[in-house]
């Protein structure tokens, strides 16, 4: 390896974008920078009661420029900008946007600048429930099962449901929309100076898991499948894509415009993008048949297996299985939960309400002190709840929750489902209810492992990644007990960004394949939680109750929605 070769990994999360400069020789982080999306922080263009969550492309563009320039500033004197060899990007998904023929998101045009329908439809936006239900019904009438590689159920969180919803509800956007583009495909296109959307290199990760692309169909399902669902989709496949690319391939070189803007050279290679959890699994050094759990606001659970060993196996109810989607040359399988950390944040927001509504209006102390006090209490709330919840003796009959606060992603996607808390009594308190919510997220995780095992893909180990995995020993120990399986916690706090950097090093030719980059640049593991046998037996009984309660809630919910 040549001396002084560095790469940049860019990780677009739900709330912020993070960039890191990494030494390609050993994975050492040279600089990092985070940019919180300003419009998103103000909840602009969102309507939570309607499950509408949109993000303005300017949040992404401004964050991209700020974080990379900030990283270079922090690393000044330690690295030469000319030693930056490649940049790779991951994003949330499915988070698509309407674009014109040049590949420009419509919200970047003056006439659509404040139109939420012209912005990125964030992964957790559930406004297309109706469209997803229609697609599932429509697919059952087809001679070819076009849902077979996405677990058999199409979700409102995905590409086609969101596209049709936007086309239906906004005539002006419909008329201006030439194509429909995932966030992870648009950023590399932007950096490499793309001018025509037909030349955009689409990620096999996004296309296979969310857009029904498959080699078996020679690309996307045919136009007739979509136009017979709704005539608004007629001809749309011709404006999308046929070919897809793995993330070890280049999307192009850094454009002159962006090179000048960032202070880099036009020799910098730009990698094909992917979803955050997919690159996060690589950054967390995923192993075959080990479920890598990226635990943040939601979870994405990634599993890879040699393609030949799982050929012909279709796991029902997951978010897809796509060759090359996580590690090129292997089968990538994705599952996950629609709310994980979001469940804890929801409970915290309930407890915070009196502070926001009453404390800030108090006349006893000044506003600055009241604000500081409120922030301190918010910061301490989940750690203190965890501390007190850990003291509660494990009881088979205590409060019991189901974790579908943002619907159910897997197994068997159904975003119409809602969460529930049962066994409440006058003795129930904040720590006991919090414990039930935390336990429910662990039970939801177990149901995913059970589905993989049932469908013939044995889960041999667990790897914990992300904020919750690093920050909450209480929940990780509970996870090990519920799963009755050890869980290793990866050392890196930025596995998604580091995974992007590993792909960048592969794109640059520093490593022949991403597995080599993982071995050289990976940081290893710094914790492991072993199951407590006494707790395992009780959790096994409570898990059966969780399953029964979930079935009852699902039955009643579907009666209401039918």
Instruction: Identify whether residues 482 and 501 lie together within a single domain.
Output: no
Which residue, 484, 451, 555, is CA-closest to 153?
451
> Would you call 127 helix, strand, or coil by DSSP?
coil
For residue 267 the two structure tokens come to 């020799």
Residue 336 lies in a domain: no
Residue 99 lies in a domain: yes
Instruction: Identify whether residues 520 and 539 lie together within a single domain.
Output: no
Could you read off the pLDDT of 418-441 as tens digits, one per residue? 999 999 999 999 999 999 999 999
CATH code, domain with 238: 3.30.420.40
Residue 293 lies in a domain: no
Distance CA 88, CA 67 (A): 14
Residue 539 lies in a domain: yes
Instruction: Identify whether residues 500 and 440 lie together within a single domain.
Output: no
Residue 322 lies in a domain: no
Report yes or no: 30 and 77 within 8 Å, Cβ to Cβ.
no
Residue 396 lies in a domain: yes
Residue 496: how many other CB atoms lie within 10 Å: 34
Instruction: Identify whether residues 435 and 510 lie together within a single domain.
Output: no
Instruction: Identify whether residues 510 and 452 lie together within a single domain.
Output: no
Q: What is the pLDDT of residue 554?
A: 94
Neighbour-count burial of 538, counting CB atoms closer than 10 A to its CB (0-12 exposed, 13-18 middle, 19+ buried): middle
Instruction: Identify whether residues 259 and 390 lie together within a single domain.
Output: no
Torsions phi, psi for 422 (to 5 deg): -115, 175
Q: What is the pLDDT of residue 355?
A: 85
For residue 380 the two structure tokens come to 């301490």
Residue 115 lies in a domain: yes
Q: What is the pLDDT of residue 427?
A: 95
Specify the pairing of strand 84-91 against strand 269-271: parallel
Q: What is the pLDDT of residue 356?
A: 84
Q: Which residues, given as ranges, of the chain have pLDDT below 70?
A: 1-3, 561-562
Residue 296 lies in a domain: no
Distance CA 338, CA 405 (A): 8
Instruction: Identify whether residues 275 and 391 lie together within a single domain.
Output: no
The residues that bridge with 402 in the sheet, in sequence order, are: 420
Integer distance in angstroms from the first to the last C-alpha of the chain? 62
Distance CA 483, CA 293 (A): 13
Q: What is the DSSP letter of 321?
A: E
Q: What is the pLDDT of residue 197?
A: 98
Instruction: Identify whether residues 176 and 223 lie together within a single domain.
Output: yes
3-state SS of 2-35 is CCCCEEEEEEECCCEEEEEEEECCCCCEEEEEEE
> Would you call 333 helix, strand, or coil by DSSP?
strand
Torsions phi, psi for 415 (to 5 deg): -80, 0
Cα distances (angstroms) measured from residue 362 to each of 188, 359, 369, 375: 50, 5, 11, 15
Instruction: Identify whether residues 516 and 461 lie together within a single domain.
Output: no
Render the burial of 317-349: b for 16+ CB within 10 Å, e for the rest.
bbbbbbbbbbbbebbbbbbbbbbbbbbbeebbe
Instruction: Identify whether residues 474 and 498 lie together within a single domain.
Output: no
Instruction: Identify whether residues 474 and 386 lie together within a single domain.
Output: yes
Instruction: Identify whether residues 260 and 375 lie together within a single domain.
Output: no
Q: How many domains does the chain have?
A: 2
Q: What is the pLDDT of residue 358?
A: 87
Neighbour-count burial of 484, counting CB atoms closer than 10 A to its CB (0-12 exposed, 13-18 middle, 19+ buried): middle
Domain range for 71 is: 6-284+492-525
Residue 306: how many other CB atoms lie within 10 Å: 12
């Amino acid at each position: 390896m040549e001396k002084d070769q560095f790469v940049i990994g860019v990780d677009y999360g739900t709330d912020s974008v993070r960039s890191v400069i990494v030494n390609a020789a050993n994975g050492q982080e040279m600089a990092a920078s985070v940019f919180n999306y300003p419009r998103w922080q103000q909840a602009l263009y969102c309507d939570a009661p309607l499950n509408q969550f949109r993000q303005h492309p300017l949040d992404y563009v401004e964050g991209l420029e700020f974080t990379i320039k900030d990283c270079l500033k922090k690393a000044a004197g330690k690295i030469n900008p000319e030693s930056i060899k490649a940049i790779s990007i991951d994003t949330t998904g499915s988070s698509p946007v309407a674009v014109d023929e040049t590949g420009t998101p419509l919200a970047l045009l003056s006439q659509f600048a404040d139109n939420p329908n012209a912005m990125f439809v964030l992964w957790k936006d559930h406004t297309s429930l109706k469209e997803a239900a229609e697609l599932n019904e429509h697919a059952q009438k087809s001679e070819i099962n076009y849902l077979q590689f996405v677990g058999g159920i199409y979700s409102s969180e995905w590409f086609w449901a969101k596209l049709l919803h936007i086309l239906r509800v906004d005539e002006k956007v419909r008329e201006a929309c030439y194509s429909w583009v995932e966030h992870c495909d648009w950023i590399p296109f932007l950096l490499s100076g793309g001018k025509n959307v037909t030349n955009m290199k689409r990620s096999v990760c996004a296309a296979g898991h969310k857009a029904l692309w498959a080699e078996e169909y020679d690309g996307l399902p045919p136009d007739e499948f979509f136009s017979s669902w709704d005539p608004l989709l007629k001809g749309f496949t011709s404006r999308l894509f046929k070919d897809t690319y793995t993330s070890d391939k280049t999307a192009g070189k850094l454009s002159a415009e962006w090179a000048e803007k960032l202070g880099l050279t036009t020799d910098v290679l730009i990698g094909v993008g992917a979803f955050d959890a997919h690159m996060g699994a690589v950054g967390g050094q995923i192993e075959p048949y080990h479920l890598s759990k990226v635990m943040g606001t939601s979870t994405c659970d990634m599993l890879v297996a040699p393609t030949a060993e799982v050929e012909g196996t279709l796991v029902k109810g997951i978010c897809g299985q796509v060759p090359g989607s996580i590690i090129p040359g292997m089968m990538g399988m994705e599952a996950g939960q629609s709310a994980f950390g979001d469940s804890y944040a929801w409970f915290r927001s309930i407890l915070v309400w009196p502070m926001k509504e009453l404390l800030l209006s108090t006349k006893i102390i000044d506003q600055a002190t009241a604000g500081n006090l409120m922030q301190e209490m918010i910061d301490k709330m989940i750690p203190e709840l965890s501390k007190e919840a850990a003291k509660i003796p494990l009881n088979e009959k205590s409060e019991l929750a189901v974790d579908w606060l943002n619907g159910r992603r897997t197994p068997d996607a159904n975003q119409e489902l809602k969460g529930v808390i049962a066994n409440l009594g006058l003795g129930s308190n904040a720590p006991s209810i919090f414990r039930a919510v935390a336990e429910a997220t662990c039970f939801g995780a177990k149901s995913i492992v059970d589905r993989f095992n049932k469908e013939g893909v044995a889960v041999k180990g667990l790897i914990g990644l992300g904020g919750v995995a690093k920050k909450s020993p209480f929940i990780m120990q509970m996870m090990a007990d519920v799963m009755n399986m050890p869980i290793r916690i990866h050392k890196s706090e930025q596995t998604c960004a580091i995974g992007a950097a590993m792909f960048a090093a592969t794109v640059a030719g520093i490593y022949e394949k991403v597995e080599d980059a993982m071995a050289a640049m990976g940081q290893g593991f710094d914790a492991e939680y072993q199951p407590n046998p006494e707790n395992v037996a009780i959790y096994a009984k409570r898990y059966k109750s969780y399953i029964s309660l979930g079935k009852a809630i699902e039955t009643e919910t579907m009666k209401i929605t039918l």
